Chains A and B, each alone.
Chain A
Amino acid sequence: MTDVLATLSRDRIFYLFVAPFAALTILFGVWPILLSMQVSFTASATALRPNPTYVGLANYAAVLADPIFLASLARTLLYTVLSVVANLAFALGFAILLDSRLLKRGSLFFRLAIFLPVITPDVAGYVVWRWLYDRSFGALNAFLTLLGLPPFGGLSSVDTAMLAILIAELWHHAGFYMIIFLANLSIRDRALEEAAHLDGATTWQRWRYVILPQLRPALVINTVYALIQFLKTFTVVVVMTKGGPNDQTNFVSYYAYQLFDQARYGEATAMATILFAIVIGLSLTAYRLGDREPGQ
C-alpha cells in the first residue's frame, strides 16, 4: 500500500494529465458498454424502466437457440474472412504497384484515386453503388448488356448480394489499408533486397523472404483493424440491402438492430455482447499471432 502511494506521489503530474482522458474514456467508452451488457440481463419489456426485471442468462440462452442468429453469425464470420482477405490482398497488391519504380510518374494520382473513397461519406458512396447495381437502370448491367454478357444479379439475387456488398466495401476501405502498407514499404531496409539480389535470389524469393517479413507490422495492424471493421458490418447493409434478399446479408449487427425495432432489447443487447466478445477474442488472437517472432 505504501509502495502504491509512493508511486502515485512520485508520478502525480503524469496521473494528473492522464486523469481527464481516463475519465472521458470511462464515461463515453466503457460505461455505455457496461450499460448495454446490463440490459442484456433484463427482460425486454422492463429493460428501459428504472427498476428492470433481471432474467439472468435467459436472453443469451434464447439468442443461442435462435437459428436465425446462428445463421447470421456464420454469415458474419464468412463475410469477415472473405472481406479481410480481399481487402488486404487488394491493398497490398496496389501498394506494391504504387511502390514500384514503373509507376513513379502517376503514383500521386493513383494514391489519391484509391484513397479518395476512404474519405467519401460511406452512406453517399453506398447509395451510388446501389444505383450502379440496380437491375432496372443501373450502369453496371447496362454495360454488361452492351457487351452481350448476362446481367449481374447484384443486390436482388440471393446468389450475388454478399459479393455485391463486399465489392462496395472493398471500394470504400481498401485505400486505408493500402496507405498503411505503403508507409511500411517506404521504411523498409532496401539494402537487404540488394544483398539478396547479389546472392542470386529471384524476384519472388526477394518478396517472400525479404520484403514480406518486413511488412509484418502493417499486416498485423491491417488484419486486426479489418477484422474489427468487417465483424461489425452495418452501414452498407442498412443502405444497400436491409439484410436481404432472404437474409443473405443479415449480419449480426443488423439482426440485433432489427430486434431493437421489435423492442426486444434484452436479446438485442445479448447479441451485441456476444459479437463484442467475438471481436475482442479474434482481434487479440490475430494480434498475438502476428506479433509473435518467427519460430516461436
Chain B
Amino acid sequence: MSALAPTPIRHALDHLDWLEAEAIHILREVAGQCSNPALLFSGGKDSIVLLRLAEKAFRPGRFPFPLLHIDTGHNYPEVIDFRDARACELNERLIVRSVESSMARGTVRLKSADESRNKHQSVTLLEAIEEFGFDACIGGARRDEEKARAKERIFSFRDEFGGWDPKNQRPELWDLFNARVHKGENIRAFPISNWTELDVWQYIARENLALPSIYFAHERAVVRKGGLLQPVTELTPAREGDLVEQLRVRFRTVGDITCTAPVESGADTVHKIIAETATTTITERGATRLDDQASEAAMEQRKKEGYF
C-alpha cells in the first residue's frame, strides 16, 4: 500500500478530483452529524477506496469511526488477510461480527446447509448495529451497480427494523444531508454513490492502492454454470458431471464465495483492468453475482429487509 501522497494542484477539478472531494465532504458530514458511526470494510475494492478517502478526510487525526466487517465465514482467505493487514497498517479499530455467531444464537437459520449466507448478513449487521449502538453505517455501494441502488439517497434512512422504504425516502437536496435519527433507527451513508466501476479503478490507479491478489488475473479451477464461472472450492465443490476447467480469471467484485463468480481475464495490472473495464460488455453485477439473477427486483427486496 502506497503512502498517502499529496493531491496535485489543479485550478479546475477533473472528474476524479470532484468525486474525491464530494466523498470527503460526505464522510465529514457523517462525522459532524452522527454520534456513533461505523465504516463497513470488507477488504473489497470499493471499501478499500473508502479507506483512502477517510485518510484524506481525517488525517492527521484518527478516523472518527471504527471499521466493521460482517463476515459470512465464506470469504476468500486472501481477502480476510488483506482486511486485517490494512486495518493494522492504518492503526484503526476493526470490529468483526460473523454470520456464524448469529447462526449459533439461532437468529440466522439456513434453509439447508448449503444455502448461501450472503443475504443473512443483514441479520448480523442489524445485530452489530444494536450491540454497538451505531447511528450510521458508511458503505461503499454505488448507484451504477444496480437499478434499485440508482434510486437510493446518499444518506439513506433505515427504520428500527433496518428496512429501506424506497417509495418514502427523505428528499435530498443540494449537499444538505439529513442524518437525524431517533434511537434505534439509523442512516446508511454512501460516499461513493456517484462513482462508476471505471471511476473506482481509475482512482485505485491514481492513488496506487494495493488490492487483494484475487482481483488480478490468476489460474483457477472453475465450472461454467448458467453463463457464469463458478469457482471450485471446498464450499462449492464440483458435482458429478461438472466439467472442471483451469482458466485464467480475475474477480471484478469480491464477496461471499458461494455467490461471487470470477470472469475470464488476462488483466494482471490495474492499467490492464482499466482498459478491460472501459471495453467490457457486461455489467459488474451481471458478470459476477449469482444472487441478483433471480429476478429484476432481487436487490430491492434484499435492501428492504436491511441489506446494504
A in complex with B? no
